[in-house]
Amino acid sequence: MKKLKILFVEDIPTDVEIAKRALIRENINFSYQVVDSADEFEKALTEFAPDLIISDYSMPTFDGMQALQIIRSQPYYIPFIMLTGSMNEETAVACMKAGADDYVLKEKIRRLPFAVKEVMTKVKAQQEKQESEAQFKAMFENMASASCLDKIVYENGKAADYYILDVNPAYERITGLKREQLIGRKASDLYGTKKVHFLDTFANVAETGEPAEFEAYFPPLDKYLHVTAGSPKKGFFSTVFSDITKKKQAEQKLRKSEQLFRTLFTDAITPIFMVEKSSQTYIDANKAALEFLEYSNNDLIGKSVYTHTPPEILEEEKRIHTNFEQSRTIETQYLINGKLKTLLLEITPLKMADSELLIGIGQDITKRKQAEMKIEENLAEKNLLLRELYHRTKNNMQVVISMLRIQARNSNNPELTEIFNNMYNLSLIHI
């Protein structure tokens, strides 16, 4: 523990020794210096720099009241204990009024150590308070948020207004008002409003001591503020606030954007699905998607995307849906209440902060697929008919060829034979 530096102002060495012994008996660790004149006293203040002064009240050339007057004229504070052989009540009061921290009678020297401890404890507490106040002041002056101290104005027992007592530089920066415009002004006068904004909240804080925190629009400044209010003592309140106008404007834009997205999403005529990639389950769907799947939203959420996949293509669908690293378009089949439906899905992966989603925008091509199947069936029937006609024509042509061959052989007319041969050759082309 640091030694306590004590400056004794005393002209009797034995009295100094008695005081020293009393302090040592109570285990007070100290170093000391003794002076008995004003010059020595002032020199010791500079060179010895004492933590405590113990002075005799009465000496031939220099006394305790003179020493007390000198020390209290200094810009710094050193505790002072008056030590005297006798003292009446009036003298004691005079000493305390002059700035002495305590006084001890020499005949009750045993009280000196306790007086020293009490005074030094008081000084330490005062120093800590001053340091705390200095730190608070530094924080108050340098904090980014605006801060002010206010006092409630009461009329007929009710809060009617408040005075602004102090503000920090950030208050000036955020409000655009100078400190000299603010201090001592009523809020209603300062902001030119009949209604004092947030008065009920501030009055409750000042009266109950319960802190409050809120976000609100402040019309006089045309700003949104985040406000924290507390009360240092009854009838007073302090506020710390920051300008959150840009944040609020961004939130409003985001809400409008979300509302627009939700409207477009909900009312779109094409089915839209939102799927959690890792679990492959639905997390949202619009009206068109729910109508396509013949579901309500509450029943669909959390279900697997493969719930309506036809069993024969299930494994292939899982393989396709597993590796979506970029957008692609696929045809997906659904077996819903015994009906086979088809969607042409454009699926886009979307990375969020805590998950990955798949956004599917679909086009119901069930009717088109059914029409294509019908066309394919008709084409198959026509191909079958054509093949039948072909075979029948081929058989008939073979009969004709045979008859022409016989006629050509049996004819004695060269011109007729040539005609039959030409007809025979032409028939061979169509077989």
CA distance 239 to 109: 51
**Which residues are registered as beta bridge partners of 175?**
none
Supply the pLDDT for residue 408: 63
Give all strands (DSSP E) within 231-377, no chain letters: 236-243, 272-276, 281-285, 328-336, 339-351, 356-364
CATH fold of 141-247 reads Beta-Lactamase (3.30.450)
Cβ neighbourhood burial of 237 (10 Å; 0-12, 13-18, 19+) = buried
The superfamily (CATH) of domain 268-364 is: PAS domain (3.30.450.20)
- What are the sequence ranges of the domains in the chain? 4-131, 141-247, 268-364, 383-429
Higher-pLDDT residue of 60 and 22 is 22
| Cβ neighbours of 422 (radius 10 Å) | 12
- pLDDT tens profile 284-298: 888 888 889 888 777
Supply the pLDDT for residue 324: 61
**Tokens 């004691």 sit on residue:** 92
**430 has pLDDT over 60:** no
**87 has pLDDT over 90:** no
- DSSP letter for 324, please: -
- pLDDT tens profile 94-113: 899 999 999 999 889 999 99
For the domain made up of 4-131, the CATH class stated in words is: alpha beta
Mean of pLDDT over the chain: 86
pTM: 0.47
Least confident among 12-26, 244-258, 306-320, 415-429: 415-429
**331 has pLDDT over 90:** no
**53 has pLDDT over 80:** yes
Q: What confidence tier does 322 reach under pLDDT thresholds 50, 70, 90?
A: low
**318 has pLDDT over 70:** yes
Residue partners of 160: CB distance under 8 A and separation at least 6? 153, 154, 196, 199
**375 has pLDDT over 90:** no
CA distance 258 to 264: 10
- pLDDT tens profile 295-305: 877 788 889 98
Domain 4-131 and domain 268-364 have a common topology: no
Supply the pLDDT for residue 423: 65
- pLDDT tens profile 181-231: 899 999 999 888 888 999 999 999 999 999 999 999 999 999 999 999 999
- DSSP letter for 430, please: T
Q: What confidence tier does 1 reach under pLDDT thresholds 50, 70, 90?
A: low
**426 has pLDDT over 70:** no
- pLDDT tens profile 110-144: 999 999 999 999 988 988 888 877 776 776 677 78
**Which residues are registered as beta bridge partners of 81?**
54, 102
